[in-house]
Homo-oligomer: A and B are copies of this chain.
Amino acid sequence: MKRSDRLVAMTNHLIEHPSQLVSLPFFSAEFDSAKSSISEDLAIVNNILQQQGIGYLESISGAAGGVKYIPSYSRTNSEKFIDQLCEQLEDPDRLLPGGYLYMSDILGEPSKVRNIGRLFASYFSTSEVDVVVTVATKGIPLAYAVASFLNVPVVIVRRDPKVTEGSTVSINYVSGSSKKIQTMVLSKRSLQEGSRVCIIDDFMKAGGTVNGMKNLMEEFRAEVVAIGVLAEAEDEDEERVITDYTSLIQINNVDVKNKQIEVRRGNYFRRELN
Task: List residues of chain A with CB under 8 Å of any chain B CB.
Answer: 3-5, 7-9, 11-12, 15-17, 44-45, 47-49, 51-52, 54, 96-98, 100-105, 108-111, 113-114, 136-138, 140-141, 144, 147-148, 151-156, 158, 163-166, 187, 189-190, 203
Contact = CB atoms under 8 A, between A and B. Distances in A.
B144 A156 contact: no
B44 A147 contact: no
30 contacts: A3-B4, A5-B48, A7-B11, A8-B11, A8-B44, A8-B48, A9-B52, A11-B15, A12-B48, A12-B49, A12-B52, A15-B15, A15-B16, A96-B163, A96-B164, A97-B163, A98-B163, A100-B164, A102-B164, A102-B189, A104-B164, A105-B153, A108-B155, A109-B153, A110-B153, A110-B154, A137-B137, A137-B158, A138-B164, A140-B141
Given A4-B4, A49-B12, A190-B108, A137 B136 contact: yes
Contacts of A16: 15
Contacts of A140: 137, 140-141
A164 B12 contact: no
A182 to B, nearest CB: 13
Contacts of A11: 7-8, 11-12, 15
B190 A154 contact: no
Max chain B C-beta neighbours (<10 A), residue from A7, A51, A151 = A7
Nearest to A190: B104
B165 A45 contact: no
Given A141-B140, A163-B96, A190-B104, A110 B148 contact: yes
B103 A4 contact: no
Nearest to A8: B48
Nearest to A52: B9
Nearest to A9: B48
A154 B145 CA distance: 14
A249 to B, nearest CB: 15
